[in-house]
Amino acid sequence: MAVETDEQDLYVKRMRTLQKQMGHGGFDAALIMQPRDLFYYAGTAQPANLWIPVAGEPILFTRRAHALARGATWIRRTVEGNSYADLRRSLTEIGALPKGGAVLGVELDVVPAALVNSLARHFADVTLKNVSPLIVRQRFVKDPAEVARIREAVEAWEEGHRQVLSRLVPGRAEYEIAAAMEYGVRNAGGDGVVWFRRWDGCLPGGGIVSSGPNAWVVSGHAMTVTGVGMNQGLPWGASDRRVERGDLVVVDYGVTKGAYHADMARTYCVGKPSTKQQGLWDRLIELHHTVIERIRPGVTGEELYRIGAEAADKMGMTEYFMGVGADRGTYIGHSIGLEVDDWPVLGEGSRDPLVPGAVVTIEPKFMIPGLGAVMVEDDILVTEEGHEMVSTLGHELFYV
């Protein structure tokens, strides 16, 4: 085994926690197939099927790159096998095949239907049930090693930020600013991918770069300051619009390093901001701090969103807060980790209390048609006592 003992203890603890929750949830076993979840429990995203019984030891069925997977995982029992037929045969030989009527946990939210249908044919006598709710709730609480990786991703984001500052001049296209962001992040050791759990989630390299009139367009699936993208095949993110003197430019990017995300946003002004722009920014930062101050164990995402909405209301900014008109969102942030859209979204209906070890983003924005958008996003660790900023980049309206 390539892993050290304390790291192995961490993985054993993770697996025991899942097994305990599987017991409460009525699962007899789980088959983990999604690469992020595999990495979390097995220690590698090599192609594999991870079999976790509700009690006892797991088995990693390696699908390819077998020796690499064996060398990377802490799991002692590994079997080479790419197909569900192989899997069933091995479980039978080992005497670990679930009994008829057993409940098998599968990540039904992410595994394609055809694959689940094939699994169901090979295990016709068991019931398949979505195990992802247990997984994403467990992943909500980060251990110190995970927080350390998020901090490194924050540093990569900041290197991207420095590249943006060095390129932000009138005439530069949004996509050139995205290229600069990505160049900084990658040269800082970023992984060069953004992981979403939602099947249709996607963010191009460099993330959202949205300037001028693009900044009050709400496009795509899930975000609010979205940009309009390069073409209808990806109609969000940076476009070919060239920034002009006086523009507000939002850069929002979920950066991965060491497999963990930092998700941050800052707003830049092309040239010195006007009094109006600066005033808008100052109110945003006031609201941002009002929300962040309230982060502590026990507070819910819904409460944090409402604190933000009330602050916007007091400022007379309700109609510009978190979107425009019918496209306004009712959220203020989300959890981050192995996926940029880690569970949960912090917004209306989010009634699970924050707990120590959670890392969340707070991302308020004002979008004013005709003027532009301002947005800030930071990453915050929930601690026993309250919270700690993970991202510490300054809160000024940057300009060049």
> Which residues of the shown chain bind a second copy in the complex (CB under 8 A)?
34-36, 39, 43-47, 63-65, 68, 72, 106, 108-117, 130, 175-176, 178-179, 182-183, 186-187, 189, 191-193, 199-200, 202, 204-206, 217-221, 230-235, 237-238, 240, 257-260, 327, 338
CB 394 within 8 A of CB 165: no
Tell me the three state secondary structure of residue 124. coil
Tell me the closest approach of the beta carbon of residue 353 to a second copy, in angstroms.
26
Q: Given the complex with a second copy, which of 112 and 370 has the nearer CB atom?
A: 112
Hey, which residues does 128 pair with through a beta bridge? 104
User: Which residues touch 173 (CB under 8 Å, ≥6 apart)?
Assistant: 238, 239, 240, 241, 242, 243
Query: Token pair of 394, please?
Result: 């300054």
Q: Given the complex with a second copy, which of 108 and 315 has the nearer CB atom?
A: 108
* Pick from 80, 21, 15: nearest CA to 42: 15
Query: Token pair of 387, please?
Result: 């919270």
What are phi and psi for residue 38, nearest 5 degrees?
-60, -45
CB 339 within 8 A of CB 197: yes
Tell me the closest approach of the beta carbon of residue 226 to a second copy, in angstroms.
8
Q: Given the complex with a second copy, which of 113 and 124 has the nearer CB atom?
A: 113
Tell me the closest approach of the beta carbon of residue 87 to a second copy, in angstroms.
16
Q: Given the complex with a second copy, which of 178 and 376 has the nearer CB atom?
A: 178
CB 350 within 8 A of CB 302: yes
Tell me the closest approach of the beta carbon of residue 118 to a second copy, in angstroms.
10
Distance between CA atoms of residues 131 and 53, nearest Å: 13
Q: Given the complex with a second copy, which of 96 and 108 has the nearer CB atom?
A: 108
Tell me the closest approach of the beta carbon of residue 217 to a second copy, in angstroms.
7
Q: Given the complex with a second copy, which of 206 and 347 has the nearer CB atom?
A: 206
Distance between CA atoms of residues 321 and 309, nearest Å: 7
Region of 334 on the Ramachandran plot (φ > 0 left; ψ -120 to 50 alpha; else beta): beta
What single-letter amino acid sits at 338?
L
Tell me the closest approach of the beta carbon of residue 117 to a second copy, in angstroms.
7
* Pick from 208, 215, 194, 183: nearest CA to 377: 208
Q: Given the complex with a second copy, which of 35 and 356 has the nearer CB atom?
A: 35
Per this entry, what is the length of the chain? 400
Query: Token pair of 374, please?
Result: 């301002």
Q: Given the complex with a second copy, which of 94 and 199 has the nearer CB atom?
A: 199
Cis? peptide before 364, omega within 30° of 0: no
Burial class of 140 by CB neighbour count within 10 A (0 to 12, 13 to 18, 19+): buried
Tell me the closest approach of the beta carbon of residue 319 to a second copy, in angstroms.
18
**How would you write 152-165 as a 3-class SS string?**
HHHHHHHHHHHHHH
Tell me the closest approach of the beta carbon of residue 329 to a second copy, in angstroms.
11
Q: Given the complex with a second copy, which of 258 and 271 has the nearer CB atom?
A: 258
Tell me the closest approach of the beta carbon of residue 74 to a second copy, in angstroms.
11
